[in-house]
Amino acid sequence: MSISSSSANGVAIALPPKQRSETEQVEIVGSSAAMRQLRMQVRRIGPYFRSVLVSGEAGAGKELVARTLHSMGPGGEFVVHAAAEFEGALAGCEMSLRRTLFLDGIGKMHLEAQDQLLRALKKHERAQGLPESPCLRVIASTREDLRTLASAGRFRQELYQRLAALEIAVPPLRERIEDLPELARFFLRRFAMLYDCGIPEIADDAMERLRLYRWPENVRELEQILRDGVLHSNGGRIEPHHLPVFAKEDDAPSAASAGKGVRLQDVVEQHVLQVLKDCGGNKLRAAEMLGISRSTLYRMLDTGASSIALR
C-alpha cells in the first residue's frame, strides 16, 4: 500500500499514484431522476450534434458530460480551450477532419472571439456534405445565463441561439444528494486503484456529515474531500475527524424557528443573503444557485432586510 503517515504532524501523505490511462472510460455517475434524464439527453444527441451548450455550476461535471458526448461521436481529438483565451483556437481545426472543440466558460469569451466562432460554425455548416469536409463539433460550457448576457449585449444573440438550440443542464449536487453514496463509492474505488490500497469505507456519521453539506463546489469538491479523507485515514475507514470542518448547517433559519412567529419573507431574505455571502457577493452566481434570474435577485435585494451591506 502506497499510503503512509507523516510523524511530524499526523497528516497522511502518499507516494506518487499510478498514472491514469488516457483511454479510461468516462462515466456519468448517479441513479437519481435528474441524472437518468441527463444520460438520456446525452445518448439522444451524442452521435448527431454539431454544437451544444452544457450549462451548470462550477464543479458540477460539465466537462465530463462534454467528454461523454464526444465519445459517442465519430471519434477524433477532444480539444479543450478556455473560452476567455479563445483567439486562434480554431487555427488547427481547419486541417482536422474529426475534432471536438470544448470551449470552457463561453460566457467569458470576448465579443471579437464570439464573432470568430460564429463565422467558423457557419463555414463548417456550408462545408457539410462536401468531399473531405471537416467534422468540427463544438461543445460550449457556461456557468452564466447566456440569455441574460445576450439581452445585455455582452453575448452575440445569433451565437447564443445556435448554441442554445441544444442545451444540457447539469444539476448541482445539492439537488441530487441521493446520488452522494454512489458518487462516494465511485471515487473511493478510483482512489483505491490510484494509491494501491483497499477500497476505504465511510463511517455512517461521516456520511451523514457529507449529506448535510451544501456542496457549493459540487462533485469536484466531493472528489477532493474524499481524496483527502483517504490520505488522512491511511486508506482505512473514513471517520468524521478525517473530513474538513464544514460550514455550520444551522446558519440558515430552521423550520422550527420559522414556526415561532418568523415571517416567511424574513426566512427567504436571510436565505438569499446567506447564498450571496457564500458566493462572495457575486450576484450572477448567487442567482444561479437560487434558481432565479439576476433581475429577480436585484428586486429582492432592494427590499427590506436584504439591503443590509455584505462584508
Name the grid cell of 225.
Answer: 474531500
Q: What are phi and psi of 76, to 5 degrees?
A: 90, -170
Q: What is the pLDDT of residues 271-303, one digit of tens each?
A: 788 777 777 677 777 777 777 877 787 777 766
Cβ(3)–Cβ(14) below 8 Å: yes
Cα gap 29→27, rounded to integer Å? 6
For 306, other C-beta atoms within 10 Å of its C-beta total 19
pTM of the prediction?
0.71
DSSP track, 170-195: PPPGGGGGGGHHHHHHHHHHHHHHHT
What phi and psi, each to the nearest 5 degrees, are found at residue 32? -65, 165
Q: How far apart are CA 57 and CA 218, in angstroms?
A: 8
Phi/psi at 4 (nearest 5 deg)? -140, 165
* Close Cβ partners of 261 (under 8 Å, ≥ 6 residues apart): none
Name all domains of the chain by residue range, CATH numbers in brackets.
3-22+177-242 (1.10.8.60), 50-165 (3.40.50.300), 253-307 (1.10.10)
DSSP H/E element including 44:
helix 33-45
- Whether the CB-CB separation of 70 and 78 falls below 8 Å is answered with yes
* Chain-centre distance for alpha carbon 80: 15
Q: Are 116 and 93 in contact (CB under 8 A)?
A: no
- Which helix (DSSP H) or strand (DSSP E) does residue 104 occupy? strand 98-104
pLDDT tens for each residue of 203-243 = 999 999 999 999 999 999 999 999 999 988 887 899 999 99
Q: What is the pLDDT of residues 35-89, one digit of tens each?
A: 999 999 999 999 999 899 999 999 999 999 999 999 998 888 899 989 887 765 5
